[in-house]
Chain A
Amino acid sequence: MEHSVQEVTFHHEPGGNEVVKKIIKTTIILSVITIIELGMGLAMYAFPMAAGLKLFLKGVIVILSLLKAFYIVGVFMHLGEELKNLIMTIVVPLLLFIWFIAAFLWDGNSWKVLRNTYNPKATTEVHEGGEHH
Protein backbone atom coordinates (compact mmCIF):
# COMPACT_ATOMS: atom_id res chain seq x y z
CA MET A 1 0.00 0.00 0.00
CA GLU A 2 2.81 2.39 0.98
CA HIS A 3 4.31 1.96 -2.45
CA SER A 4 1.09 2.65 -4.39
CA VAL A 5 0.41 5.79 -2.35
CA GLN A 6 3.84 7.10 -3.28
CA GLU A 7 3.32 6.25 -6.94
CA VAL A 8 0.01 7.90 -7.52
CA THR A 9 -1.50 10.94 -5.88
CA PHE A 10 -5.25 10.67 -6.01
CA HIS A 11 -6.12 13.99 -4.45
CA HIS A 12 -5.92 16.64 -7.11
CA GLU A 13 -8.25 19.19 -5.64
CA PRO A 14 -8.77 20.57 -2.18
CA GLY A 15 -12.18 19.61 -0.84
CA GLY A 16 -14.79 22.04 0.32
CA ASN A 17 -16.76 24.96 -0.89
CA GLU A 18 -14.14 26.66 -3.08
CA VAL A 19 -14.38 23.81 -5.59
CA VAL A 20 -18.15 24.12 -5.77
CA LYS A 21 -17.79 27.89 -6.15
CA LYS A 22 -15.37 27.39 -9.05
CA ILE A 23 -17.81 24.96 -10.70
CA ILE A 24 -20.70 27.42 -10.36
CA LYS A 25 -18.54 30.27 -11.71
CA THR A 26 -17.54 28.17 -14.74
CA THR A 27 -21.17 27.19 -15.34
CA ILE A 28 -22.16 30.87 -15.40
CA ILE A 29 -19.29 31.71 -17.77
CA LEU A 30 -20.27 28.87 -20.15
CA SER A 31 -23.94 29.91 -20.10
CA VAL A 32 -23.17 33.58 -20.73
CA ILE A 33 -20.83 32.74 -23.63
CA THR A 34 -23.51 30.47 -25.14
CA ILE A 35 -26.13 33.25 -24.85
CA ILE A 36 -23.76 35.74 -26.53
CA GLU A 37 -23.10 33.23 -29.33
CA LEU A 38 -26.82 32.69 -29.82
CA GLY A 39 -27.42 36.43 -29.86
CA MET A 40 -24.81 36.87 -32.59
CA GLY A 41 -26.19 33.90 -34.56
CA LEU A 42 -29.69 35.37 -34.43
CA ALA A 43 -28.43 38.86 -35.29
CA MET A 44 -26.97 37.47 -38.52
CA TYR A 45 -30.44 36.14 -39.34
CA ALA A 46 -32.54 39.10 -38.17
CA PHE A 47 -30.57 42.02 -39.61
CA PRO A 48 -29.32 42.24 -43.17
CA MET A 49 -25.58 42.86 -43.00
CA ALA A 50 -22.52 43.03 -45.24
CA ALA A 51 -20.70 39.77 -45.99
CA GLY A 52 -17.56 41.12 -44.30
CA LEU A 53 -19.38 41.87 -41.03
CA LYS A 54 -21.05 38.46 -41.13
CA LEU A 55 -17.66 36.80 -41.55
CA PHE A 56 -16.32 38.86 -38.63
CA LEU A 57 -19.21 37.78 -36.37
CA LYS A 58 -18.64 34.14 -37.37
CA GLY A 59 -14.95 34.54 -36.46
CA VAL A 60 -15.90 35.92 -33.04
CA ILE A 61 -18.29 32.99 -32.49
CA VAL A 62 -15.49 30.52 -33.33
CA ILE A 63 -13.16 32.20 -30.82
CA LEU A 64 -15.89 32.17 -28.14
CA SER A 65 -16.42 28.43 -28.77
CA LEU A 66 -12.69 27.82 -28.31
CA LEU A 67 -12.95 29.72 -25.01
CA LYS A 68 -15.81 27.41 -23.97
CA ALA A 69 -13.67 24.39 -24.89
CA PHE A 70 -10.84 25.82 -22.76
CA TYR A 71 -13.13 26.11 -19.72
CA ILE A 72 -14.65 22.63 -20.16
CA VAL A 73 -11.25 20.93 -20.56
CA GLY A 74 -9.40 23.07 -18.01
CA VAL A 75 -11.96 23.19 -15.19
CA PHE A 76 -14.55 20.44 -15.69
CA MET A 77 -12.03 17.86 -16.87
CA HIS A 78 -9.40 19.16 -14.42
CA LEU A 79 -6.68 19.10 -17.08
CA GLY A 80 -5.37 22.40 -15.67
CA GLU A 81 -4.52 20.61 -12.42
CA GLU A 82 -2.47 17.83 -14.03
CA LEU A 83 1.30 17.87 -14.43
CA LYS A 84 2.61 20.06 -17.24
CA ASN A 85 4.14 17.10 -19.12
CA LEU A 86 0.76 15.34 -19.20
CA ILE A 87 -0.98 18.50 -20.42
CA MET A 88 1.58 18.85 -23.21
CA THR A 89 1.15 15.25 -24.44
CA ILE A 90 -2.56 16.06 -24.93
CA VAL A 91 -2.35 19.61 -26.24
CA VAL A 92 0.68 19.45 -28.57
CA PRO A 93 -0.76 16.72 -30.89
CA LEU A 94 -3.94 18.81 -31.19
CA LEU A 95 -1.86 21.51 -32.90
CA LEU A 96 -2.18 19.29 -35.99
CA PHE A 97 -5.68 20.74 -36.27
CA ILE A 98 -4.23 24.09 -37.35
CA TRP A 99 -2.92 22.57 -40.57
CA PHE A 100 -5.87 20.18 -40.83
CA ILE A 101 -8.49 22.94 -40.81
CA ALA A 102 -6.58 25.46 -42.92
CA ALA A 103 -5.59 22.97 -45.63
CA PHE A 104 -9.01 21.39 -46.07
CA LEU A 105 -11.05 24.60 -46.03
CA TRP A 106 -8.58 26.01 -48.56
CA ASP A 107 -9.12 22.88 -50.63
CA GLY A 108 -12.91 23.26 -50.49
CA ASN A 109 -12.71 26.88 -51.53
CA SER A 110 -10.38 26.06 -54.41
CA TRP A 111 -12.86 23.41 -55.55
CA LYS A 112 -15.59 26.06 -55.66
CA VAL A 113 -13.45 28.57 -57.54
CA LEU A 114 -12.44 25.97 -60.13
CA ARG A 115 -16.01 24.81 -60.64
CA ASN A 116 -17.27 28.38 -61.05
CA THR A 117 -14.47 29.16 -63.49
CA TYR A 118 -14.91 26.15 -65.74
CA ASN A 119 -18.64 25.57 -65.25
CA PRO A 120 -20.17 29.08 -64.91
CA LYS A 121 -23.67 27.55 -65.00
CA ALA A 122 -23.14 26.50 -61.37
CA THR A 123 -23.14 30.15 -60.16
CA THR A 124 -26.10 31.47 -62.15
CA GLU A 125 -28.45 28.83 -60.72
CA VAL A 126 -27.87 30.25 -57.24
CA HIS A 127 -27.82 33.97 -58.03
CA GLU A 128 -31.18 33.91 -59.82
CA GLY A 129 -32.88 32.35 -56.82
CA GLY A 130 -31.64 34.17 -53.74
CA GLU A 131 -32.56 33.32 -50.14
CA HIS A 132 -35.41 30.92 -49.55
CA HIS A 133 -37.42 31.11 -46.35
Chain B
Amino acid sequence: MATAGAQMETKWWSGGKSPFNVEYGKLMMWYFLMSDAFTFGAFLISYGTIRFSQNYWPDPNVVFNAFPFAGHANLPLAFVSLMTFILIVSSVTMVLAVHAGHKNDKQGVIKWMIWTIIGGIAFLSCQAWEWTHLITGDHAVLINGEIENIGTTVTRNPWGPAANVAAHDGHHVGTTGPVAFGGYFFGITGFHGFHVLSGVVINIVMLIMTINGVFERRGHYLMIEKAGLYWHFVDLVWVFVFLCFYLI
Protein backbone atom coordinates (compact mmCIF):
# COMPACT_ATOMS: atom_id res chain seq x y z
CA MET B 1 0.00 0.00 0.00
CA ALA B 2 1.41 3.36 -1.02
CA THR B 3 1.24 6.30 1.34
CA ALA B 4 -0.57 9.49 0.39
CA GLY B 5 2.73 11.28 -0.26
CA ALA B 6 4.06 8.58 -2.55
CA GLN B 7 0.76 8.52 -4.48
CA MET B 8 1.19 12.09 -5.57
CA GLU B 9 4.58 11.37 -7.10
CA THR B 10 3.43 8.25 -8.92
CA LYS B 11 3.29 8.51 -12.71
CA TRP B 12 -0.29 7.36 -13.04
CA TRP B 13 -0.40 7.47 -16.83
CA SER B 14 2.85 5.62 -17.52
CA GLY B 15 0.98 2.33 -17.95
CA GLY B 16 0.54 -0.79 -15.84
CA LYS B 17 -1.56 1.07 -13.28
CA SER B 18 -5.12 2.20 -12.90
CA PRO B 19 -4.67 5.92 -13.57
CA PHE B 20 -7.52 7.01 -11.28
CA ASN B 21 -6.49 4.61 -8.50
CA VAL B 22 -10.06 3.34 -8.05
CA GLU B 23 -11.73 0.11 -8.93
CA TYR B 24 -13.70 0.04 -12.21
CA GLY B 25 -17.13 -0.37 -10.58
CA LYS B 26 -16.59 2.55 -8.24
CA LEU B 27 -15.48 4.84 -11.07
CA MET B 28 -18.51 3.86 -13.13
CA MET B 29 -20.75 4.50 -10.11
CA TRP B 30 -19.34 8.04 -10.02
CA TYR B 31 -20.09 8.59 -13.70
CA PHE B 32 -23.57 7.14 -13.31
CA LEU B 33 -24.21 9.51 -10.42
CA MET B 34 -22.96 12.42 -12.49
CA SER B 35 -25.44 11.56 -15.26
CA ASP B 36 -28.19 11.08 -12.66
CA ALA B 37 -27.35 14.53 -11.30
CA PHE B 38 -28.12 15.91 -14.76
CA THR B 39 -31.43 14.03 -14.84
CA PHE B 40 -32.49 15.50 -11.52
CA GLY B 41 -31.01 18.85 -12.51
CA ALA B 42 -33.09 18.89 -15.70
CA PHE B 43 -36.26 18.15 -13.70
CA LEU B 44 -35.57 20.84 -11.13
CA ILE B 45 -34.57 23.39 -13.78
CA SER B 46 -37.74 22.65 -15.73
CA TYR B 47 -39.69 23.28 -12.51
CA GLY B 48 -37.74 26.54 -12.07
CA THR B 49 -38.56 27.64 -15.62
CA ILE B 50 -42.29 27.14 -15.09
CA ARG B 51 -42.17 28.79 -11.68
CA PHE B 52 -40.35 31.82 -13.10
CA SER B 53 -42.97 32.06 -15.83
CA GLN B 54 -45.85 32.38 -13.34
CA ASN B 55 -47.13 35.52 -11.67
CA TYR B 56 -48.22 33.52 -8.66
CA TRP B 57 -46.68 30.48 -7.00
CA PRO B 58 -47.89 28.82 -3.75
CA ASP B 59 -45.89 29.61 -0.61
CA PRO B 60 -44.35 26.31 0.64
CA ASN B 61 -44.82 27.45 4.25
CA VAL B 62 -48.57 27.49 3.63
CA VAL B 63 -48.76 24.23 1.66
CA PHE B 64 -46.48 22.11 3.87
CA ASN B 65 -47.66 22.95 7.38
CA ALA B 66 -49.11 19.66 8.62
CA PHE B 67 -47.64 17.11 10.99
CA PRO B 68 -48.91 13.57 11.72
CA PHE B 69 -51.25 13.42 14.73
CA ALA B 70 -51.11 17.21 15.12
CA GLY B 71 -54.56 17.82 13.62
CA HIS B 72 -54.91 21.24 12.02
CA ALA B 73 -52.00 22.84 13.89
CA ASN B 74 -50.07 25.27 11.68
CA LEU B 75 -46.51 23.87 11.73
CA PRO B 76 -44.81 25.12 8.57
CA LEU B 77 -41.92 22.96 7.34
CA ALA B 78 -41.79 20.93 10.59
CA PHE B 79 -42.48 17.56 8.98
CA VAL B 80 -40.16 18.06 6.03
CA SER B 81 -37.41 19.09 8.49
CA LEU B 82 -37.90 15.77 10.23
CA MET B 83 -37.59 13.98 6.86
CA THR B 84 -34.42 15.93 6.09
CA PHE B 85 -32.82 14.96 9.40
CA ILE B 86 -33.80 11.32 8.94
CA LEU B 87 -31.99 11.32 5.59
CA ILE B 88 -28.91 13.11 6.96
CA VAL B 89 -28.68 10.64 9.85
CA SER B 90 -29.05 7.66 7.53
CA SER B 91 -26.25 9.15 5.41
CA VAL B 92 -24.07 9.31 8.53
CA THR B 93 -24.78 5.68 9.45
CA MET B 94 -23.86 4.76 5.85
CA VAL B 95 -20.44 6.49 6.18
CA LEU B 96 -19.92 4.59 9.40
CA ALA B 97 -20.76 1.33 7.58
CA VAL B 98 -18.20 2.18 4.87
CA HIS B 99 -15.68 3.05 7.61
CA ALA B 100 -16.32 -0.30 9.32
CA GLY B 101 -15.78 -1.92 5.90
CA HIS B 102 -12.37 -0.28 5.60
CA LYS B 103 -11.42 -1.95 8.87
CA ASN B 104 -12.90 -5.30 7.67
CA ASP B 105 -15.21 -5.12 10.70
CA LYS B 106 -18.07 -7.39 9.64
CA GLN B 107 -20.22 -6.82 12.73
CA GLY B 108 -19.80 -3.03 12.39
CA VAL B 109 -20.90 -3.12 8.75
CA ILE B 110 -23.96 -5.19 9.65
CA LYS B 111 -24.93 -2.85 12.50
CA TRP B 112 -24.62 0.36 10.51
CA MET B 113 -26.25 -1.09 7.38
CA ILE B 114 -29.29 -2.04 9.46
CA TRP B 115 -29.54 1.53 10.81
CA THR B 116 -29.20 2.93 7.29
CA ILE B 117 -31.99 0.68 6.02
CA ILE B 118 -34.22 1.72 8.94
CA GLY B 119 -33.55 5.39 8.11
CA GLY B 120 -34.45 4.81 4.46
CA ILE B 121 -37.69 3.06 5.34
CA ALA B 122 -38.56 5.81 7.84
CA PHE B 123 -38.02 8.45 5.13
CA LEU B 124 -40.23 6.57 2.66
CA SER B 125 -42.96 6.21 5.29
CA CYS B 126 -42.85 9.96 5.95
CA GLN B 127 -43.12 10.64 2.23
CA ALA B 128 -46.10 8.29 1.93
CA TRP B 129 -47.85 10.20 4.73
CA GLU B 130 -47.06 13.57 3.15
CA TRP B 131 -48.37 12.52 -0.27
CA THR B 132 -51.53 11.08 1.26
CA HIS B 133 -52.09 14.25 3.24
CA LEU B 134 -51.65 16.46 0.16
CA ILE B 135 -53.89 14.36 -2.09
CA THR B 136 -56.69 13.77 0.41
CA GLY B 137 -56.52 17.09 2.32
CA ASP B 138 -59.45 19.11 0.95
CA HIS B 139 -59.43 22.88 0.60
CA ALA B 140 -62.31 25.18 -0.25
CA VAL B 141 -61.65 26.69 -3.67
CA LEU B 142 -63.73 28.89 -5.93
CA ILE B 143 -64.06 27.21 -9.34
CA ASN B 144 -66.29 28.83 -12.00
CA GLY B 145 -68.23 30.73 -9.33
CA GLU B 146 -68.86 27.70 -7.13
CA ILE B 147 -67.06 26.62 -3.99
CA GLU B 148 -65.54 23.15 -4.31
CA ASN B 149 -63.35 21.13 -1.94
CA ILE B 150 -60.30 19.78 -3.75
CA GLY B 151 -56.97 18.22 -2.78
CA THR B 152 -53.57 18.62 -4.46
CA THR B 153 -53.12 16.31 -7.45
CA VAL B 154 -51.31 16.47 -10.76
CA THR B 155 -54.36 18.10 -12.34
CA ARG B 156 -55.69 20.26 -9.48
CA ASN B 157 -54.01 22.80 -7.24
CA PRO B 158 -56.05 24.44 -4.45
CA TRP B 159 -53.14 26.74 -3.46
CA GLY B 160 -53.99 29.78 -5.55
CA PRO B 161 -54.49 33.38 -4.40
CA ALA B 162 -57.38 34.12 -2.00
CA ALA B 163 -60.81 34.60 -3.53
CA ASN B 164 -62.95 37.64 -2.76
CA VAL B 165 -65.63 35.54 -1.05
CA ALA B 166 -65.85 33.74 2.29
CA ALA B 167 -67.42 30.32 2.87
CA HIS B 168 -70.60 30.03 4.92
CA ASP B 169 -68.69 28.82 7.96
CA GLY B 170 -66.23 31.72 7.75
CA HIS B 171 -63.34 29.65 6.36
CA HIS B 172 -60.98 31.18 3.84
CA VAL B 173 -61.74 30.38 0.26
CA GLY B 174 -58.99 30.28 -2.32
CA THR B 175 -58.78 30.06 -6.07
CA THR B 176 -56.93 27.40 -8.03
CA GLY B 177 -53.19 27.88 -8.41
CA PRO B 178 -50.83 26.88 -11.23
CA VAL B 179 -51.63 23.30 -12.27
CA ALA B 180 -47.93 22.55 -12.75
CA PHE B 181 -47.35 22.70 -8.98
CA GLY B 182 -48.74 19.22 -8.24
CA GLY B 183 -47.21 17.64 -11.32
CA TYR B 184 -43.72 18.88 -10.49
CA PHE B 185 -44.03 18.16 -6.79
CA PHE B 186 -45.26 14.59 -7.18
CA GLY B 187 -43.04 13.97 -10.21
CA ILE B 188 -39.78 15.10 -8.66
CA THR B 189 -40.31 13.93 -5.06
CA GLY B 190 -41.64 10.69 -6.55
CA PHE B 191 -38.53 10.23 -8.71
CA HIS B 192 -36.40 10.95 -5.64
CA GLY B 193 -38.52 8.59 -3.53
CA PHE B 194 -38.01 5.87 -6.14
CA HIS B 195 -34.25 6.42 -5.80
CA VAL B 196 -34.60 6.04 -2.02
CA LEU B 197 -36.60 2.86 -2.53
CA SER B 198 -34.00 1.34 -4.88
CA GLY B 199 -31.28 2.49 -2.44
CA VAL B 200 -33.02 0.62 0.38
CA VAL B 201 -33.26 -2.50 -1.81
CA ILE B 202 -29.55 -2.24 -2.72
CA ASN B 203 -28.67 -1.77 0.95
CA ILE B 204 -30.73 -4.82 1.95
CA VAL B 205 -28.90 -6.89 -0.70
CA MET B 206 -25.56 -5.59 0.64
CA LEU B 207 -26.63 -6.45 4.21
CA ILE B 208 -27.53 -10.02 3.20
CA MET B 209 -24.21 -10.41 1.33
CA THR B 210 -22.34 -9.10 4.37
CA ILE B 211 -24.16 -11.46 6.74
CA ASN B 212 -23.38 -14.37 4.40
CA GLY B 213 -19.70 -13.43 4.54
CA VAL B 214 -19.33 -12.72 0.81
CA PHE B 215 -17.17 -9.62 1.35
CA GLU B 216 -15.22 -11.26 4.16
CA ARG B 217 -14.17 -14.00 1.73
CA ARG B 218 -13.45 -11.41 -0.95
CA GLY B 219 -11.14 -9.59 1.44
CA HIS B 220 -12.60 -6.13 0.95
CA TYR B 221 -15.88 -4.24 1.37
CA LEU B 222 -15.78 -2.22 -1.87
CA MET B 223 -19.40 -3.09 -2.64
CA ILE B 224 -20.45 -1.31 0.55
CA GLU B 225 -18.54 1.75 -0.68
CA LYS B 226 -20.37 1.70 -4.02
CA ALA B 227 -23.77 1.27 -2.36
CA GLY B 228 -22.70 4.09 -0.03
CA LEU B 229 -21.96 6.41 -2.96
CA TYR B 230 -25.45 5.81 -4.31
CA TRP B 231 -27.03 6.35 -0.89
CA HIS B 232 -25.17 9.63 -0.32
CA PHE B 233 -26.24 10.79 -3.76
CA VAL B 234 -29.86 10.25 -2.74
CA ASP B 235 -29.21 12.47 0.29
CA LEU B 236 -27.47 15.01 -1.96
CA VAL B 237 -30.45 15.18 -4.31
CA TRP B 238 -32.76 15.68 -1.34
CA VAL B 239 -30.72 18.77 -0.37
CA PHE B 240 -31.77 20.34 -3.67
CA VAL B 241 -35.34 19.02 -3.68
CA PHE B 242 -35.69 20.42 -0.16
CA LEU B 243 -34.23 23.71 -1.39
CA CYS B 244 -36.40 24.08 -4.47
CA PHE B 245 -39.75 22.85 -3.13
CA TYR B 246 -39.76 23.74 0.55
CA LEU B 247 -37.32 26.52 1.30
CA ILE B 248 -37.48 29.06 -1.52
Contacts and interface: CB of A to CB of B under 8 A. Distances in A.
Given A9-B21, A31-B88, A109-B52, A77 B174 contact: no
Interface string B236-248: 1001101100111
A31 B17 CA distance: 40
B102 A23 contact: no
Interface string B20-57: 11110001001100100110011001101111111110
Contacts of B220: 10
Query: Mostly helix, strand, loop or mixed at chain A's interface?
Result: helix
Given A82-B20, A132-B159, A132-B174, A19 B55 contact: no
Contacts of A78: 98
A69 B95 contact: no
A72 B18 contact: no
Q: Which of B12, B19, B89, B102 is the most central at the interface, judged by chain A CB atoms within 10 Å of its CB? A: B102
Nearest to B247: A41
Interface string A8-46: 111111010001100100010011001001101110110
A94 interface: yes
29 contacts: A7-B16, A12-B102, A20-B99, A23-B92, A23-B95, A34-B88, A41-B247, A42-B77, A58-B247, A58-B248, A76-B91, A77-B232, A78-B98, A79-B30, A83-B7, A83-B19, A86-B20, A86-B21, A86-B22, A90-B30, A97-B41, A100-B45, A101-B48, A111-B53, A112-B54, A115-B53, A126-B161, A130-B162, A133-B162
A111 B7 CA distance: 53
B240 A27 contact: no
Given A9-B1, A109-B53, A23 B88 contact: no
Contacts of A76: 91-92, 94-95, 232, 235
Interface residues of B, number: 75
B194 interface: no
A129 B247 contact: no
Interface string A54-92: 000010011001001100110111110011011001100
A20 B112 CA distance: 13
Contact of B247 (A61, A82, A109, A130): A61
Nearest to A45: B61
Query: Mostly helix, strand, loop or mixed at chain B's interface?
Result: helix
Nearest to B219: A10
B34 A133 contact: no
A117 interface: no
Interface size class of A (residues with CB under 8 A): 35 or more
A42 B21 CA distance: 45
Nearest to B173: A132
A45 B1 contact: no
Q: Which 6 A-B pairs have the closest CB atoms?
A: A129-B161, A108-B52, A45-B61, A132-B162, A108-B49, A111-B53
Contacts of A112: 52-55
B195 to A, nearest CB: 15
Contacts of B183: none
Given A9-B1, A101-B48, A132-B162, A72 B84 contact: no
B138 interface: no
